[in-house]
Structure 1
Amino acid sequence: MRKTCIAACLLTASAGLMAQDHEAGFHLYSPDVETDGEIDASFEYNGFGCAGDNQSPTLRWDNAPAGTRSFAISVHDPDAPTGSGWWHWRVVNLPADTTELTGNAGAIDGANLPDGAVQLRNDYGDKGWGGMCPPAGDSPHRYTFTVHALNTEQLELPEDASPALAGFMIHQHEIARAGFMATYAREED
């Protein structure tokens, strides 16, 4: 019960921070994924028993704070049955003038990202978008989409950086964040 409370409290605090950032003007949204809505099956992973298109949605943001020198993107499922959630996407070193990632920007080859941007390993072990794939029959999982405004142009990370190491470095340089949450579930087979 204590772990559940801690996780719920952290998520509530995180949602509160995102709400504060939104009120301050920094805002992340997607024309493909409605805030607090259900994510379309086309964004589902293709593997692990899932059969989606495994393409990342379009993400847009505006009103980044003064002093932003680059951005990072993260997509996380806190409900994955791992004890630590599941990292679906991490992108760092997005130039400060970036305000959008178009659909399928998370392609494994990175060809749809701005110059200089780097995709890090997700929890599937790939460097790119890893779509939703909760266990069939689970209650809907929550997916947190976040853009981080950073005070550095480039995060120095090893090529094989884990999601946790990337998170540490992102948070060391974060000056603001904005985000939204949406849900996804798979029916039992």
Structure 2
Amino acid sequence: MRFPTIAICTLAIVFAVCGCASDGRELAEPLPWQVTTTRPLPPTSAPDQSTGIDGMTLTSPDFVAGGDAPASATCASGINLHPGFQWSTVPESAVELGITLSDQTDPENPLLLWLMAGLDPDAGGLTQGDLPAGAFETLNDYGQPGWGNPCLESFQTGRRDLQFRLYALDRPSNISPGAPGNTSWDELAARAIDSATILMRITADSSAQG
């Protein structure tokens, strides 16, 4: 007689499901950049720009979203300075901002080129090449500190897609200056309550202009 056994098992499953649904311990849904891993995996084609879940934005006076990287930010000119930025609509609960630059040319294997943390949410922006008081930089995926000096490498054809991401944190990042880039990036993503992006590109034409 298998039917009673099946009925009992079915009831047990129903009660178990109901119990889980009513115990008040529902898991909070992860934020968009925390779904798969603490390090955000980009889509197949990174958008030129994206705003945060509460409208936070990241812009730059030195390039348009999806446009060519300024020569001063690449190895083409020898100046090698990060661009300037402005941010707005930062969550009121944010106590720290962090910003990263990652190469999204191969979306499955993003390369960290730059990470700066310890930024003041109320500053409103970052001047080209500046390291504000209280802010600091970590190592990048090349194992070097500071700005990653992106180039259009000889083995690459076409372009490099380079994405800046601004993170808003409601608690200190606890990242140390000169810390490894991988763990620092994971830490920013894990602690972020909001995130916004802007993309710039290096092409053969823009590289030649430098």
Does 2:119 correspond to 1:91? no
Residues in 1 aligned to 2:194 and 2:44: alpha-carbon distance in whole angstroms: 14
Q: Specify the alignment match of 2:62 in structure 1.
A: 32
What per-residue deviation string (whole Å, max 9, x for no partner) do you get for residues 1-56 of structure 1?
A: xxxxxxxxx5338957x63527x3210000101101111222113xxxx5531011
Q: Which stretch of structure 1 is more off in the superposition, 122-131 or 174-183?
A: 122-131
Residues 157, 25 of structure 1: CA spacing in aligned structure 2 closer, same or farther, 3 A cutoff? closer
Q: What is the total number of aligned residue pairs between the two structures? A: 165
1:80 Cα deviation from its structure 2 partner: 6.2
Equivalent position SS for 1:141: strand
Query: Considering only aligned residues, what root-mean-square deviation do their CA atoms show, in Å?
Result: 2.7
Q: Specify the alignment match of 2:42 in structure 1.
A: 11
Contact 1:80 1:134 in 2 (8 A): no
Q: Specify the alignment match of 2:157 in structure 1.
A: 138
Once the two structures are aligned, what percentage of the paired residues are identical?
25
Residues in 1 aligned to 2:72 and 2:120: alpha-carbon distance in whole angstroms: 28
Contact 2:50 2:57 in 1 (8 A): no
Q: Which has the larger radius of gyration?
A: 2
Residues 93, 162 of structure 1: CA spacing in aligned structure 2 closer, same or farther, 3 A cutoff? same
Q: Specify the alignment match of 2:140 in structure 1.
A: 122
1:172 Cα deviation from its structure 2 partner: 1.7
2:79 maps to amino acid: D
Contact 2:86 2:124 in 1 (8 A): yes
TM-score for both structures, normalised by structure 2 = 0.68
Extract unaligned runs of 5+ from structure 1.
Answer: 1-9, 106-112
Residues 118, 183 of structure 1: CA spacing in aligned structure 2 closer, same or farther, 3 A cutoff? same
1:61 Cα deviation from its structure 2 partner: 0.3
